[in-house]
């Protein structure tokens, strides 16, 4: 099934009835202890927070750079400055340029360039009708026509392919579920098939392009048997861009039982990627592959080798000791520790987990954390999944700040109760007695 026509001379193409039919069908009317040493519980911890002096950075350089890069992609697309857009995406991709937190700038430019069309589609699917004055089918065809004018441009092809992938997910819903309406499933596969046809014209290895390889990985949910190609595609991506842990994190998530794998396979792949990237990451890749998976599905705590995982956390932070990474690891370990306490303290199984994760958390706070990034802690609470669009950034940051301050106070709780003031600075931590 096709959703659009590439025939500019005949707007009443064979695809148009399908488009109209689908449009009418869809839019028609038919703590170990709770306080960890505090006798009065969390309220006591809150009462002590005025003596925990740690900077809170709610507007990090990464967020600014990400917003600026997305906006630049959107601006160039609206102005139809396709050559400029192509050149910037290609340059960022070939140079593996990222924000300070590791987000590829090419990915951000691609997102901005397609965002008008994708937002229009999402609005229509969410509200049952297009936004006033919007015709998102026309937006899809406009980008398709642009691609006809630049058939050999892989950066511009990526814009159109990702547009189809995004709209496919908008039809289907992003959860790993099987109960999807037939109409939605049909639309999902139609958009993914079109994206695949576009990307098949370009070889990631020939173009030395992580962005192309990442797009091929993004196609996997539309495949008939994604598990068969999953590890191969992600291994190719990681080989092209081994310094970026986001690819390892995505692999681990897709290897969860709710998607295309199981915990045994996830652990095996974590070990394989760690062995292949040892010169760069030490044991870090083992932690990165398990990273999102453990928060999305805490049952994985039963399988993870906690000592190896914590070695990976330490190695990863030794190699990328920025505050974004420190907040990622601290928030992850704190959340995992809470999950382990809930799951394993009562039944006696894996009693090693809570104290080990607590020790790892304390290590990250003492040795690496020097400021709080609230959004990271807010995202950690919901598993780093892409569900935060239903929560405003301000609310997520406020919740993240509250969680982070109480978590970071725990390693210093006895001193705080005794009147100490704890100061975090870029040079280290100072504890001053009353």
What's the pLDDT at 47?
86
Mean pLDDT on 46-54: 93
Query: Residue 270: is its pLDDT beyond 90?
Result: yes
Region of 133 (left: φ > 0; alpha: ψ -120 to 50; beta: rest) is left
What's the pLDDT at 180?
64
- pLDDT grade, residue 62 (50/70/90)? confident
Separation between Cα atoms, residue 207 and residue 193, nearest integer Å: 22
What are phi and psi for residue 2, nearest 5 degrees? -115, 155
What's the pLDDT at 30?
37
- pLDDT grade, residue 124 (50/70/90)? confident
What's the pLDDT at 7?
45
Mean pLDDT on 127-149: 77
CB 94 within 8 A of CB 209: yes
Separation between Cα atoms, residue 278 and residue 147, nearest integer Å: 40
CB 117 within 8 A of CB 136: yes
Lowest mean pLDDT among 231-235, 244-248, 338-342, 382-386: 382-386
Helix (H, G, I), strand (E, B) or coil at 108: helix
Mean pLDDT on 65-71: 95
What's the pLDDT at 304?
96
Range among 33-47, 177-191, 340-354, 403-417 with highest mean pLDDT value: 403-417
- pLDDT grade, residue 9 (50/70/90)? very low
What's the pLDDT at 132?
57
Mean pLDDT on 123-135: 63
- pLDDT grade, residue 130 (50/70/90)? low
Separation between Cα atoms, residue 418 and residue 407, nearest integer Å: 18
DSSP 34-98: TTSS-TTTHHHHHHHGGGEE--B-SS-HHHHHHHHHHHHHHHHHHTT-HHHHHHHHHHHHHHT-B
What's the pLDDT at 136?
63
425 has which bridge partners?
428
Long-range contacts: 4-8, Cβ < 8 Å, 24+?
4/137, 4/140, 4/141, 4/144, 4/194, 5/141, 6/141, 6/144, 6/145, 6/148, 8/145
> Side by side, which strands form the sheet with 421-425?
52-53, 421-425, 428-432
What's the pLDDT at 392?
77
DSSP 169-198: HHHH-SSS-S---HHHHHHHHHHHHHHHHH
Mean pLDDT on 48-68: 91
Mean pLDDT on 356-361: 97
Query: Residue 135: is its pLDDT beyond 90?
Result: no
Q: Dihedral (C-alpha) 303, 306, 310, 312: value to the nearest 10 degrees?
A: -40
What's the pLDDT at 382?
80
Pull the structure tokens for residue 142: 């406009």
202 vs 385, higher pLDDT: 202
Helix (H, G, I), strand (E, B) or coil at 1: coil
What's the pLDDT at 391?
62
CB 226 within 8 A of CB 220: yes
What are phi and psi for residue 431, nearest 5 degrees? -115, 115
Range among 128-137, 279-288, 350-359 with highest mean pLDDT value: 279-288
Query: Residue 128: is its pLDDT beyond 60?
Result: no
User: 159-197 b/e with 16+ CB inside 10 Å = b?
Assistant: bbbbbbbbbbbbbbeeeeeeeeeeebebbbbbbbbbbbe
Query: Residue 56: is its pLDDT beyond 50?
Result: yes
CB 156 within 8 A of CB 80: no
Query: Residue 22: is its pLDDT beyond 60?
Result: no
Helix (H, G, I), strand (E, B) or coil at 131: coil
What proportion of the chain, given as a percentage, has pLDDT over 70? 83
Predicted TM-score (pTM) of the model is 0.85
Q: Where are the alpha helices (DSSP H) in 320-390?
A: 323-344, 353-367, 374-381
Query: Residue 255: is its pLDDT beyond 50?
Result: yes
Give the distance from CA 91 to its chain's centroid: 23
Lowest mean pLDDT among 9-18, 180-189, 222-231: 9-18
Query: Residue 147: is its pLDDT beyond 60?
Result: yes
CB 216 within 8 A of CB 233: yes
Mean pLDDT on 20-49: 49
Separation between Cα atoms, residue 353 and residue 306, nearest integer Å: 7
Q: What sign does the dihedral 384-389-390-391 (CA atoms) show? A: positive
What is the average pLDDT score of the chain?
A: 86
Pull the structure tokens for residue 164: 């189809």
Mean pLDDT on 418-425: 96
Q: What sign does the dihedral 324-326-330-333 (CA atoms) show? A: positive
Query: Residue 2: is its pLDDT beyond 70?
Result: no
């Amino acid at each position: 099934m096709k959703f659009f026509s590439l025939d500019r001379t005949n707007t009443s193409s064979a695809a148009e009835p399908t488009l109209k039919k689908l449009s009418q069908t869809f839019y028609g009317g038919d703590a170990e202890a709770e306080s960890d040493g505090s006798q009065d519980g969390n309220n006591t911890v809150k009462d002590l927070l005025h003596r925990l002096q740690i900077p809170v950075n709610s507007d990090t350089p990464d967020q600014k750079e990400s917003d600026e890069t997305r906006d630049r992609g959107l601006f160039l697309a609206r102005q139809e400055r396709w050559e400029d857009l192509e050149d910037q995406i290609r340059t960022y991709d070939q140079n593996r340029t990222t924000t300070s937190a590791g987000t590829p700038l090419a990915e951000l430019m691609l997102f901005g360039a397609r965002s008008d069309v994708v937002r229009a589609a999402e609005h229509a699917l969410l509200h049952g009708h297009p936004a006033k004055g919007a015709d998102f089918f026309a937006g899809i065809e406009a980008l398709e026509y642009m691609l006809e004018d630049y058939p050999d441009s892989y950066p511009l092809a990526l814009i159109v392919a990702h547009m189809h992938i995004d709209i496919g997910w908008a039809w289907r819903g992003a959860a790993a579920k099987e109960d999807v309406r037939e109409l939605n499933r049909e639309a999902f596969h139609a958009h993914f098939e079109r994206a695949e046809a576009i990307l098949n014209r370009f070889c990631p290895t020939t173009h030395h392009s992580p962005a192309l390889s990442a797009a091929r990985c993004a196609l996997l949910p539309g495949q008939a048997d994604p598990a068969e190609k999953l590890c191969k595609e992600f291994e190719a991506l990681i080989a092209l861009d081994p310094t970026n842990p986001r690819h390892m994190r995505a692999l681990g998530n897709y290897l969860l039982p709710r998607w295309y794998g199981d915990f045994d396979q996830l652990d095996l792949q974590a070990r394989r990627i760690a062995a292949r990237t040892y010169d760069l990451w030490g044991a870090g890749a083992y932690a990165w592959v398990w990273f999102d998976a453990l928060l999305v599905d805490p049952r994985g705590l039963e399988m993870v080798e906690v000592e190896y995982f914590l070695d990976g956390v330490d190695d990863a932070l030794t190699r990328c000791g920025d505050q974004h990474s420190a907040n990622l690891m601290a928030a992850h370990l704190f959340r995992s520790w809470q999950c382990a306490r809930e799951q394993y303290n009562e039944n006696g199984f894996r009693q090693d987990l809570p104290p080990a994760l607590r020790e790892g958390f304390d290590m990250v706070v003492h040795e690496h954390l020097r400021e709080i990034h609230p959004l990271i802690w807010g995202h950690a609470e919901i598993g780093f999944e892409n569900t935060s669009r239903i929560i405003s950034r301000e609310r997520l940051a406020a919740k993240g700040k509250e969680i982070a301050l109480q978590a970071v106070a725990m390693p210093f709780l006895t001193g705080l109760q005794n009147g100490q003031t704890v100061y975090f600075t870029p040079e280290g931590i100072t504890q001053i007695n009353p």
